[in-house]
């Protein structure tokens, strides 16, 4: 059995677009199509439906891909275990990140990681939390640095940093005077005092929006929305520029901005976490990568745990 060809089938099942998969796998569409047809002929049944613009799985295809995923997980785990036994320092780690804070963390610790494991290739994927968690479950990623809020029993979660949310309010706002001048200890304010304000918020599909919507529900009102944005950095930049009221993670506060900050009642919070698949054993290199992340959060965000 060719492991690489198993990966082709699984990749096609995930993407469903033959041309796109062929490009990502560096093979021609005709070669990939011929391989699938040959495999289907050997099995005596189609694995994919040929629909214009998409290749969804048949029932037989779903059975094949489910087994293929399990084989690939076991194969990659075997390689990691053998590498650890012989103290091999080559191989690769696939890492997912879903927030700008995780991006900064990765940029900071990557040189130190490469200094210890110079021959290990790190493949980095960024995206939304839900998509990255799904890739870990499917064995496409080894570890993901993200935030809590969309948990699944198929993954193991290690907390890295507990983080509260803050309300960011322009200094010109009529309630801004209630803010504590020192950001070492923020004042707390009732969120429902802002029921008539317009908010800039993340898009509904994002984890932070799911949490903030729950905050509004507890506060007893639906927010008036000035702007929705799927880019967290853009949202934070607009907020700190004083364009409106918003709710952001505490780690994104900017003391030099045109805003003041409050903790809220009801509060919002999440954990910055690292996640990996249930049943998987992390390699020494992966454990070291996580250790570096833990040290980074402990050093750079000590003010957040309040």
Residue 25: the pLDDT is: 81
pLDDT at residue 52 greater than cutoff 50: yes
Contact criterion met (CB below 8 Å) for 302 and 102: no
103, 108, 112, 118 alpha-carbon torsion, rounded to 10°: 40
Whole-angstrom CA distances from 289 to 86, 109, 184 are 19, 8, 30
Mean predicted confidence (pLDDT) in 127-140: 85
148 pLDDT higher than 50: yes
pLDDT value at 9 more than 50? yes
pLDDT of residue 306: 45
Domain positions in the chain are: 1-87, 164-269
Average pLDDT for 58-87: 81
pLDDT in tens, 169-214: 998 899 999 998 766 689 999 999 999 999 999 999 888 899 999 9
- Is a pLDDT exceeding 60 seen at residue 65? yes
The pLDDT of residue 127 is 83
- From the list 178, 195, 208, the residue with the least C-alpha distance to 270 is 208
- Please give the class, per CATH, of domain 164-269: alpha beta
Q: Which of 84-88, 119-123, 209-213 has the lowest mean pLDDT?
A: 84-88
pLDDT at 109: 94
% of the chain surpassing 90 pLDDT:
41
Per the prediction, the chain carries an average pLDDT of: 87
- The model's pLDDT over 228-285, given as tens digits with 9 standing for 90+, comes to 988 877 887 887 777 889 999 988 888 777 889 999 999 999 999 999 988 888 888 8
Band of residue 304 on the pLDDT scale cut at 50, 70, 90: low
E strand segments, the chain: 91-97, 120-126, 143-147, 155-170, 188-190, 198-202, 224-229, 245-249, 259-265, 269-277
**C-beta of residue 116 within 8 angstroms of C-beta of residue 193:** no
What is residue 84's predicted lDDT score, i.e. its pLDDT?
A: 66
Q: Per-residue pLDDT for 305 more than 70? A: no
CB 33 within 8 A of CB 102: no
Determine the Cα–Cα distance for residues 252 and 165; give it in Å rounded to an integer. 9
> What is the model's pTM?
0.71
What's CA 236's distance to the chain center, in Å? 18
Q: Given the structure tokens 């320092």, which residue do they identify?
A: 89
Q: What's the topology of domain 1-87? A: Arc Repressor Mutant, subunit A (1.10.10)
């Amino acid at each position: 059995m060719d492991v690489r060809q198993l990966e082709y089938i699984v990749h096609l099942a995930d993407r469903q677009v033959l041309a796109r998969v062929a490009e990502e796998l560096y093979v021609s569409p005709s070669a990939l199509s011929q391989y699938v047809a040959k495999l289907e002929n050997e099995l005596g049944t189609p694995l994919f439906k040929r629909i214009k613009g998409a290749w969804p799985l048949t029932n037989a295809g779903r059975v094949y891909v489910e087994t293929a995923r399990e084989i690939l997980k076991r194969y990659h785990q075997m390689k990691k275990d053998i590498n650890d036994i012989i103290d091999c320092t080559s191989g690769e780690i696939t890492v997912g990140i879903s927030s700008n804070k995780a991006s900064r963390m990765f940029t900071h610790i990557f040189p130190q990681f490469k200094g210890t494991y110079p021959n290990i290739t790190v493949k980095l994927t960024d995206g939304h939390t839900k998509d990255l968690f799904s890739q870990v479950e499917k064995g496409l990623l080894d570890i993901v640095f993200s935030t809590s809020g969309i948990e699944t029993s198929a993954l193991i979660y290690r907390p890295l940093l507990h983080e509260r949310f803050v309300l960011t309010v322009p200094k010109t706002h009529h309630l801004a005077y209630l803010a504590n001048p020192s950001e070492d200890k923020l004042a707390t304010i009732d969120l429902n005092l802002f029921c008539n304000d317009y908010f800039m918020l993340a898009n509904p599909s994002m984890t932070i929006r799911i949490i903030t919507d729950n905050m509004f529900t507890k506060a007893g009102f639906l927010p008036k929305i000035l702007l929705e944005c799927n880019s967290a950095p853009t949202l934070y930049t607009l907020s700190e520029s004083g364009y409106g009221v918003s709710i952001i993670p505490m780690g994104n506060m900017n003391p030099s901005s045109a805003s003041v900050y409050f903790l809220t009642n009801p509060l919002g919070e999440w954990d910055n976490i690292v996640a990996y698949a249930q049943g998987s054993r992390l390699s020494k290199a992966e454990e070291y990568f996580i250790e570096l992340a833990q040290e980074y959060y402990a050093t750079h965000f000590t003010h957040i745990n309040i």
